[in-house]
Amino acid sequence: MPRNEQQTRFELIDPMLLDQRGWSREDISVEETAAPVDIVDGKGRRRPKGRTDYVLRHPLKPGAEPIALAIMEAKHEGVPPDHGLQQGKGYLVGHLHHVPFVFSSNGHQFVEYDERTGITSDPRPMSAFPTPAELVARYLAATALPPENKDWSLLLTPYAKGRVYLRYYQDAAIRATLEKAIKQRAAGKPPRVLLSLATGSGKTRVAAVLLRKMFDAGIMGRALFVCDRTELRDNGLGDFQAVFGNDAAEVDSRHPQKNARVLVATYQTLAQDLGSDGLAFFQAHYPPDFFDVIVIDECHRSAWGDWRRILDQHESAVQIGLTATPRELSLPKAADSETLAQVKDDERFLADNYRYFGDPVYEYSYLQGVADGYLAPNEIETYDLFHDGRRDPERLRGVNRADVASKLLTNLHTGARVTQEAVAPQNSPSVLESRLVLPERVKAMCVHYFHRLLATGDNDPLQKSIVFCASDHHADLVANELNNLYAQWCRANGQRRVATYAFKCMSSVNGQSLIPSFRDRKRSHIVATTKDLLTTGVNVPCVRNIVFFRYVQSPILFHQMIGRGTRIDEETGKLMFRIFDYTGATTLFGAKLIAPPPPKEGPPGPTPPPPAPVKVRGVAIEIRDTGHFNLMSVDGRLTRVTPGEYRARLVDELTANVPSLIDFRQRWLNPEARAAMLAELAERNLLPEKVREGANMDAYDLFDVLAALAYGITPRTRAERAAQFSEAGPDWLIHLPPVSAKVLRAIVRQFERAGTDGLETNELWQTPDIRHLNGLKALREGGDPSELLRKLKETLFAA
């Protein structure tokens, strides 16, 4: 019998690497990601284990930090050596680990994929596998690192807290950053590096460890970590002090902290207006070239005002941009030369992250974080809203003046009646609830959402949620309505109300001070209604619901909003989150992160105040369900897909690997082959359980669900298959001793209850009717139990 994967690695691959090819035990590691979360029946559940990567590391010099050079996909010796290569390339393992080489081996031979050239080698014997020295030399050539210079110490210096302090992609992001910095410095260019890391993936920890590595290597004297909110500053300080101790300090307008190695500050503090110059604080305390490294957090938001001048004063510094949503500027299709010059030369062109930093040296997406089990997956519910029975096919048409001609119109501020002329001729959806306030619409949306909150959350209203609103006043209205609904629910269910349920979290009420209470897992400050304050830079892992009552047009803003729900919170059992979309916001999944160029500044002078918003009474609101969606990668883009599209994708993947019903049945009967087949689907976020749920096929075994969808059989319920087995009484069963036949019939009844999994669980022999028959012992009277179980499954799934 061929060795399995683990035996192949331990008995064939490792001995060859260790004994003949010069690798040490410290060079070879098996790294497993967190177990991914699947959403089935509306609940998040962890898979048994995550992806396992076989990583080869070696220091560039003796005694230095070992760095990842290659990934090895080890497969059992019964398959060709290139069997695992497609898996390694398909999962982008080499890219994710930031290594140039991916190997696949069956223990006897290996093939190699070179990421730089795109060439896959022919099979070669394991005795020809590269030695550490050979692979190091090839790594240096592949990465185009310059001949040895002092900056090599950046890669040689060990991590202060060890590599175990980092997830694999954080280590990869740091190495990618250092490689580019080394090459740019060697070329006489000031290093400019962009990292694109999903919200919740630990950008600040990456920055802290990266700076400590640069400091220990002797490359950095002082560094500045700059962000645009005090919340980010306060959160980030903990990560920096974890690796720098008191050498990391928080800057405010009274404490410049010039003696610290790492200064953590907000843009607002650095540009504190202490005189006529908006950068007086910065210039007073930090002369040009004071900092060797500047890390710009959320760099997609950092382009405006005087901030660019701070970077200009540190032209030679290593400048590193961090963001989950790199911003690219768009130009008009027929842009004139003046417009092109303005965008090219405007001192605020840092807004185009790609133009300033270049392409990201490393990217770790939200979908990859979900696949690795580090970020929470989501389910999407979408709804359309209609006014007064008008079902306009153009869902974003908004409200026109004629639509409210017969309504009660009042000035929002004074309550005085106004005429319809106070309403703009056309009102796009983006101004609803800000310029045109519709109380019935607010109430209908809140009632609908509150009911969905209870329906999807086991009748528990105390789920931390963020509702994105159109304006400050809209946030008040939504909070008030949700508080009323919650109070009514408490009375109806005999529950004591929490002190603060829904609350407005806006700058107008110092919402920043309420965020710690919202983040706290205690039963207080449950639902935050906001416009912009919680769109970025706020770490609240326990948020379970993201709700769009606000229309969103910016893909960057949308993805930042979604990022508030992507963190997993093991302490509260939060493994997934839901998106309730009432405004079509989720159509922005997959949209390019492009923004218009910064507008030209207008002439100085006061801006006339806008007209008072108009309140419209008497609008009938209808809310219609427009579908539930899942997220998948389609053509490399994060895209929402319908259940039908999800099923089609699963069928395509399944039939591509298992082309016929005969092949499918053979794999299904073999537990190892079936597990591998389902694992390949799961790695692509395709779950047969989800398809069964959507098709209302709970009474069917997964065999029938998949065989019906992919191969066109007429499905049979578990009860029908069990009845057929009992009624047909196959010949081989009739000739068994009666007690053995009884045990097999009891096992079939277990299949009827639990499906295929029920036949292979360790608890099978402990079920009451089988244990009563002394199951395993009685079965042995009829022959080999494993052979009898194989026959049983063949009979169950015969047709």
When pLDDT is cut at 50, 70 and 90, the band that residue 521 belongs to is confident
Distances in Å between the Cα of 642 and the Cα atoms of 455, 626, 653 are 21, 10, 17
> How much is the average pLDDT of 303-325?
81
When pLDDT is cut at 50, 70 and 90, the band that residue 274 belongs to is very low
Residue whose token pair is 């490359």 = 219
343 has pLDDT over 50:
no
Q: Which of 2-6, 127-131, 170-174, 615-619 has the lowest mean pLDDT?
A: 2-6
Reduced to 3 states (helix: H, G, I; strand: E, B; else coil), residue 274 is coil
What residue spans of 319-438 are helical by DSSP H?
A: 337-345, 353-357, 366-372
Q: What is the pLDDT of residue 276?
A: 43
Phi, psi (rounded to 5 degrees) for 267: -60, -40
% of residues, the chain, pLDDT over 70: 88
When pLDDT is cut at 50, 70 and 90, the band that residue 278 belongs to is low
% of residues, the chain, pLDDT over 90: 47
Q: What is the pLDDT of residue 340?
A: 42
Q: What is the pLDDT of residue 697?
A: 87
The Cα 546–Cα 556 span in angstroms is: 16
User: What does DSSP assign to residue 9?
Assistant: I
Q: Which of 27-31, 165-169, 385-389, 463-467 has the lowest mean pLDDT?
A: 385-389
Q: What is the pLDDT of residue 345?
A: 42
333 has pLDDT over 70:
no
Which of the pair, 781 or 287, is modelled with greater confidence?
A: 287
When pLDDT is cut at 50, 70 and 90, the band that residue 398 belongs to is confident
The Cα 362–Cα 336 span in angstroms is: 34
Q: Which of 403-417, 637-651, 684-698 has the lowest mean pLDDT?
A: 684-698
572 has pLDDT over 80:
yes
Phi, psi (rounded to 5 degrees) for 436: -130, 105
| 183-242: pLDDT as tens digits | 999 999 999 999 999 999 999 999 999 999 999 999 889 999 988 777 777 777 889 999
Beta bridge partners of residue 77, listed in sequence order? none
Q: Which of 377-386, 401-410, 443-452, 686-695 has the lowest mean pLDDT?
A: 686-695
Reduced to 3 states (helix: H, G, I; strand: E, B; else coil), residue 555 is helix
113 has pLDDT over 80:
yes
Beta bridge partners of residue 625, listed in sequence order? 383
Phi, psi (rounded to 5 degrees) for 587: -65, -15
Kind of pairing between the strands at 101-105 and 109-114 = antiparallel
608 has pLDDT over 70:
yes
When pLDDT is cut at 50, 70 and 90, the band that residue 273 belongs to is very low
Residues 6+ away with beta carbon under 8 Å from 563: 198, 199, 200, 324, 366, 536
The Cα 332–Cα 415 span in angstroms is: 43
The Cα 343–Cα 197 span in angstroms is: 27
Amino acid at 35: A
**Mean pLDDT for the chain?**
85
The Cα 727–Cα 131 span in angstroms is: 64
| 48-62: pLDDT as tens digits | 888 888 899 999 999
The Cα 106–Cα 73 span in angstroms is: 9
Whether this prediction's pTM lies above 0.85 is answered by: yes
Amino acid at 671: P
> How much is the average pLDDT of 71-88?
80
346 has pLDDT over 70:
no
Q: Among 645, 654, 640, 643, which residue's Cα sits nearest to residue 684?
A: 654
